[in-house]
Amino acid sequence: GESVGLHLPTLSVQEGDNSIINCAYSNSASDYFIWYKQESGKGPQFIIDIRSNMDKRQGQRVTVLLNKTVKHLSLQIAATQPGDSAVYFCAESSGGYNKLIFGAGTRLAVHP
């Protein structure tokens, strides 16, 4: 759905733990999904993407899971570090266009 929300949900984790950030998307026709990390004062930074013909994709310390049946996307971060503290956004698009629909975002707070 459209990005909304002034108050972001926060996920607090201990350094070294694994983090899982969840996202529900609304458009069943969406065929491309992407995760971004945004730190204060910066633009969104690409983390990982996945197309609808896959259900899992791994990167360096990150894994994205896609469940099309329930329209759910998740980002798993292994061995979370203080530098991972940021706001994380999921985004979806369809039809090969760059019109991304962003989720509201989740703030990840990593405590030493």
Binding site for other proteins (CB under 8 A): 2-6, 32, 34, 36, 41-46, 49, 89, 91, 93, 95-105
Residue 43 or 112: which CB sits closer to other proteins? 43
Q: What's the DSSP call for residue 26?
A: -
* Alpha carbon distance 81, 41 (integer Å): 20
Q: How far is the CB of 41 from other proteins (least distance, A)?
A: 8
Q: List CB contacts of 58: < 8 A, sequence separation 6 or more.
A: 64
Q: How far is the CB of 17 from other proteins (least distance, A)?
A: 27
